[in-house]
Amino acid sequence: MKHSRLALLGAVAAAVSLVVTGCSGTPSSDGTAPAASKPESVVVAVGAVPDSLTPSPWGGSASHVVLSGLGSQLMAYKGAGSEESCLKPSTDLTGRLAESAELNPDGTGVIVKLRDLTSQWGNKLSAEDVAWSLQIGMVRQPVMKGTLTTSGFDVDNLTKIIDEHTIQLNTKVVTSYTLASLQNNLFYIHDSVEAKKHATADDPTANDWLSKNLADYSGWDLEEFTPGTSLTLKADSHWEGKRGSVKRVVIKAVSNTATRSQLVESGEAQVAGSFEYDQYASLAKAPGVQVLDCVGQTRDTLMINTKTGPLADPAVRRAVSQAIDRAALVKGAYSGYGEPSKAIFPGVKATPSYTFDKAAAKKALADAGYPDGFDMELSYSVTRPGPVAERSAVLIQSMLKDVGIRVALKNIASTTDFSTAVIDGRYQAILYSEPIVINDPAFYSYAFYAGGAPSNSTGWADPRFDEARLKMADVKTSEADRKTLLQDAADYIDEGSPILALVQTKNMLARQKGLTGANPLTNNQIYFAALGG
């Protein structure tokens, strides 16, 4: 194997001149478009690097950085990460490892034809790779099994190998996002020939080895990986896929946002994200830096444990919502970037409890038996939704104090501890973010809200919601009916208020002026092979 442990790259690429702000491709102040930059090395400064190169253990946004960046999934959104996608996120699909993916004539499966690709270990992408990877993926990450199930796949009889380069993924039903689910980060395809060499009786999925080594079809060799700290990748010259000019990528965990900003301004890092929003405004004025302010559908949210205490009462949860001034939150914590949420989902009518009204909130609390308020713990982490979490937490603490709710703030520093706390429901209330991993409301209304959904840790469930969501996912449902059903689903959530949407955010990052291919995907990450393309 040609991997070696090399020292982390130092500074590369000097800063260049001129200031560019706004969305990708926006002209600079002198009216000219930014000159294209085609470097061979790129440093990406991020808030956190995960502890594993696989989805287990899940590291929240840090895992998205690596799994989206490597991109060893069957499908991708067409044009994702392109200059045009900054203005309008795509819902159309294209193959990544797959040459094509189509429903079979009787609707009992998806026929996937694979591209001619070679792994870092010299093995060709095969149907067996897909079958093995999806099977072990369900074992190592239960959320993946839940996602496959809700996407319509038959998880008990998932695959049928047709030939070496063709596989059928069996379905029980076909949903509106069955095909789109195949671009999900969790559905990661490994080189099974190499991975199986490292499976043991105690670790049949080879996750211990795969978490520290690459055996996939991403087109990258692993030079160095220090869990939680850094990742260095070198382009595999034998890979047959399409890539840009960049042949080496260094991903550095730089937890301090001021340091991350200095790296971008000095040219030591060519891509960086997860800043405080006022830092984006400052970076937009820095010579040689381009700030992308792209259309986003991600919502930063407040998740509530509905099982015990005062917050078990939905009237109290709605009062919390009324006590939060979302416009002030956007102005104070987000520096004006993003939009105040008016309901749980974008595209539905405004909800009364989302209107800031301290008097109504106080009355609702008194009517619920809490005229003097109550004590509440609010957990947060810069892991997700990002550095804005701390400022948001402090502002929300102040807003809730005005209606008598005494908030104690709990900072969870570890990415793994934070993700585990969310999954296990070990919180009273927690700041979170819902990036669009599958751009279909029938899915993103599932993950945190459906009864029995793996990511639903609030304790809330409503059979009316589940029925509306299932109808929305039915491919025979018209687009007009889907909109009506989405509104119904939103109304049921607002009635129960287990999760409060706070801000609909932008997809933002800072990059070296003119660096092509460094455009955010729907989950606000980048695809490494597109860099310099």
- Among residues 129, 99, 128, the alpha carbon closest in space to that of 111 is found at 99
More confident residue, 169 or 447: 169
Q: Are 361 and 320 spatial neighbours (Cβ–Cβ below 8 Å)?
A: yes
CATH number at residue 491: 3.10.105.10
- Among residues 416, 379, 410, 385, the alpha carbon closest in space to that of 276 is found at 385
14 belongs to a structural domain: no
337 and 226 belong to one structural domain: no
407 and 346 belong to one structural domain: yes
Query: pLDDT tens, 345-364?
Result: 988 999 999 999 999 999 99
432 and 514 belong to one structural domain: no
pLDDT given for residue 7 in this prediction: 31
472 belongs to a structural domain: yes
pLDDT given for residue 16 in this prediction: 24
172 and 223 belong to one structural domain: no
pLDDT given for residue 34 in this prediction: 58
Q: Which of 125, 160, 194 is the C-terminal boundary of a domain?
A: 194
Q: What is the pTM of this model?
A: 0.82
Burial class from Cβ neighbours inside 10 Å (0-12, 13-18, 19+) for residue 431 reads: buried
Q: Peptide bond before 310: cis, by omega within 30 degrees of 0?
A: no
Query: pLDDT tens, 393-435?
Result: 999 999 999 999 999 999 999 888 998 999 999 999 999 999 8
The CA distance from 372 to 61, in Å, is: 38
DSSP bridge pairs for 20: 290
CATH number at residue 260: 3.40.190.10
Please give the single-letter amino acid code of residue 181.
Answer: S
In b/e form, how buried is each residue of 88-109, taking b as 16+ CB within 10 angstroms?
Answer: ebbeebebbbbeebeeeeeeeb
Q: Are 525 and 71 spatial neighbours (Cβ–Cβ below 8 Å)?
A: no
Greatest mean pLDDT among 59-63, 116-120, 275-279, 450-454 lies in 116-120
374 belongs to a structural domain: yes
Residue whose token pair is 């956007």: 330
Got the DSSP string for 57-80? Answer: S--THHHHHHHHHH--SSEEETTT
Q: Peptide bond before 105: cis, by omega within 30 degrees of 0?
A: no
The CA distance from 216 to 346, in Å, is: 36
127 belongs to a structural domain: yes
Band of pLDDT at residue 189, cut at 50, 70 and 90: very high
314 belongs to a structural domain: yes
Containing 300, the helix (H) or strand (E) segment is strand 299-304
- Asked if pLDDT for residue 275 goes beyond 70, the answer is yes
CATH number at residue 108: 3.90.76.10
36 and 125 belong to one structural domain: no
Q: Are 233 and 222 spatial neighbours (Cβ–Cβ below 8 Å)?
A: yes
Look at the chain and report how many structural domains it folds into. Answer: 3
332 and 426 belong to one structural domain: yes
Query: pLDDT tens, 460-496?
Result: 999 999 999 999 999 999 999 999 999 999 999 999 9
Which residue range is the domain that position 433 belongs to? 299-505
Residue whose token pair is 């070990």: 426
375 and 477 belong to one structural domain: yes
Helices 479-496 and 463-473: crossing angle in degrees, nearest 10, is: 160
210 belongs to a structural domain: no
Q: CA dihedral in degrees (182, 414, 383, 376; nearest 10)?
A: 110
How many beta carbons lie within 10 A of that of residue 130, not counting itself?
26
Residue 418 region by backbone torsions, left for phi larger than 0, else alpha for psi between -120 and 50, else beta: alpha
200 belongs to a structural domain: no
Band of pLDDT at residue 60, cut at 50, 70 and 90: confident
The CA distance from 257 to 47, in Å, is: 8
Report in angstroms the alpha-carbon separations of 230 from 10, 62, 233, 249: 12, 11, 10, 11
pLDDT given for residue 13 in this prediction: 30
501 and 511 belong to one structural domain: no
Alpha helices in 425-462 (DSSP H): 441-444
436 belongs to a structural domain: yes
In b/e form, how buried is each residue of 161-192, taking b as 16+ CB within 10 angstroms?
Answer: eeeebbbbbbbebbbbbbbbbbbbbbbbbbbb
Band of pLDDT at residue 143, cut at 50, 70 and 90: confident
Residue whose token pair is 């870092």: 120
Residue 267 region by backbone torsions, left for phi larger than 0, else alpha for psi between -120 and 50, else beta: left
405 and 451 belong to one structural domain: yes
468 and 383 belong to one structural domain: yes
97 and 222 belong to one structural domain: no
457 and 468 belong to one structural domain: yes
- Asked if pLDDT for residue 1 goes beyond 60, the answer is no
